[in-house]
Amino acid sequence: MPSPAVLSPAPALAAPTGTATRPRPSLVPPIRRAGVPALAAALAAAADRWLHLVEYRPDSRWTHLLPSADAAAVLDPSLHRELAAAEVWLLSWLPGQGTPLHDHGRSAGAFAVVRGSLTERVVAPGRPGRPGRESTAELTGGSVRSFGAHYVHQVTNSAPVPAISVHVYAPRLTEMNTYSFAGDRLDRTGTEQAGVDW
């Protein structure tokens, strides 16, 4: 059995006279930013507070920029700091409606499927020695997809029922680029600017 001296903690060292003592680091972990995926998930969870705003258009997807104050009203205050640098869009999708292949410029983002299901096609161009990649995923109600800047995807409602989703971007969208993808080549086909095209 070890002696009691071995089990006792070492005495604290005193600071030399005339020097300041350094405060001990806090044992509380630092606050981490939740980011756009947490905002999208929280807004989807609070959908009953904004679903009355949703409309459907037979000719094209319906989109609605949700004012920050309206988004803040349905979010926990702990997420308000995240919301200050973001923008929130509500979208509805009738069967067969979708987007072209696009990115969100310099904005990162996340979207949550609130009702129905959406099909997401993601592409990445080939690099020397590596082929291009393409994948497809079915995202059902409750699914959250997050992505970084210049993420290229296409979203479509392939289901026989309408779908609703909430999208969050940070920083706010300034442009969206559209693309074509053939083989390993991803070619930009257009650019839409905030304040001009939407």
- How deeply is 83 buried, as exposed, middle or buried, from its count of CB atoms within 10 A (0-12, 13-18, 19+)? buried
Q: Report the Cα 21 to chain-centroid distance in Å.
A: 43
Q: Which of 144, 123, 143, 119 is nearest to 134 (CA)?
A: 123
Q: Is 167 annotated as a binding residue?
A: no
Q: Is 104 annotated as a binding residue?
A: yes
Cis peptide before 23, with omega less than 30 degrees from 0?
no
Q: Is 102 annotated as a binding residue?
A: yes
Helix ranges restricted to H, 46-169: 68-74, 80-83
Binding site membership: which residues?
102, 104, 153
Binding site membership for Fe cation: which residues?
102, 104, 153
